[in-house]
Amino acid sequence: MFKPLSKTRLFESIVNMIREQIQSGQLKPGDKLPSERELAELLDVSRNSLREALRTLEMMNYLEIRPGEGVFVKETNINDLIDPIVDAISVDNELLLDLLDVREIIEVETARLAALNGTEDDFEKIKNVIEKAEKKIADKSIGLDEDHGFHLAIAEATHNQAFLMIFILISEALMKNMEATLTIPGQPEKTIADHKAVCKAICSRQPEKAAHLMKDHIIKARKNLENSKNKQLKNG
């Protein structure tokens, strides 16, 4: 399982080898790695290089280092992988803007596919989410959950499991992006208007119009975030 490593890019090689063993299933959740001395000998690396690699793999949520017990392969879940991304996005305006590029690629296509593949039940679900959002906004809420629910309902209406899985994987990060837009005064009402237009195009089975309106919606979100960022820089 373990073999001596090349001395070039040693630290990266250690990380990659152990990570590959985990991803391939050769090392399973709960497995205990050999002792530090034994593993360093098996890999033919220094114990300092090994310690640094193990700490990195722990930060990446692949391993758990238990003092006095050893190093164990960690049982990972999707939140372990997504949470660091969400945390980074929440404090980095540039990442928030970058995420809009991702949204444009994914959500423009989901709007188009929803118009092509959606059922009447799917369309009703999209409309119901908009109605809930209107009520929340009337009660002075920004309607964040409903905003997310609207985009999720569209992803579900595609009946494309790959798109739905991707949307779910990045949903926490997407909500950070949506929240940054919805907190701008007057924006929740504008968002509802955009959602209604997209919904109308989807429900009337106009795929290209739905895609165009969704793209326009995300472009507006980008402009709002850029304006907010510029104001912060000016006031800062």
Count of domains forming the chain: 2
Identify the CATH number of the domain in which residue 181 sits: 1.20.120.530
Q: Are residues 90 and 180 in the same domain?
A: yes
Residue 5 lies in a domain: no
Please identify, among 45, 73, 101, the residue that sits at the C-terminal boundary of a domain: 73
Residue 172 lies in a domain: yes
The C-alpha angle with vertex 57 and arms to 11 and 46, in degrees rounded to 5, equals 35
Task: State the pLDDT at residue 2.
Answer: 62
Q: What are the residues facing 64 on neighbouring strands?
A: 72
Please identify, among 31, 47, 73, the residue that sits at the C-terminal boundary of a domain: 73
Residue 136 lies in a domain: yes
Q: Are residues 108 and 180 in the same domain?
A: yes
Q: What is the pLDDT along the chain (236 residues), one digit of tens a residue?
A: 666 655 445 767 888 889 888 888 899 999 999 999 999 999 888 888 888 888 888 877 789 999 989 999 987 665 555 555 555 555 455 666 777 788 888 899 999 999 999 999 999 999 999 999 999 999 888 888 899 899 999 999 999 988 888 887 777 667 777 777 788 888 889 999 999 999 999 999 999 999 999 999 999 888 877 776 666 556 55
Residue 4 lies in a domain: no
Q: Are residues 212 and 163 in the same domain?
A: yes
Task: State the pLDDT at residue 125.
Answer: 95
Q: 140: domain range?
A: 80-235
Please identify, among 48, 73, 98, the residue that sits at the C-terminal boundary of a domain: 73
Task: State the pLDDT at residue 8.
Answer: 45
For residue 154, give the nearest of 181, 128, 136 by alpha carbon: 128
For the segment 197-220, what is each residue's pLDDT rounded down to a tens digit?
999 999 999 999 999 999 999 998
Q: Are residues 92 and 44 in the same domain?
A: no
Q: Are residues 120 and 181 in the same domain?
A: yes
Do the Cβ atoms of 216 and 181 come closer than 8 Å?
Answer: no
For the segment 11-42, what is each residue's pLDDT rounded down to a tens digit?
678 888 898 888 888 999 999 999 999 999 99
Secondary element (H or E) of residue 72: strand 70-73
Task: State the pLDDT at residue 143.
Answer: 87
Q: Are residues 58 and 129 in the same domain?
A: no
Question: Rounded CA gap, 81 and 201, in Å?
Answer: 35
Q: Are residues 98 and 153 in the same domain?
A: yes
Query: What mean pLDDT, rounded, does the chain reach?
Result: 83
Residue 214 lies in a domain: yes
Q: Are residues 111 and 212 in the same domain?
A: yes
Q: Are residues 52 and 141 in the same domain?
A: no
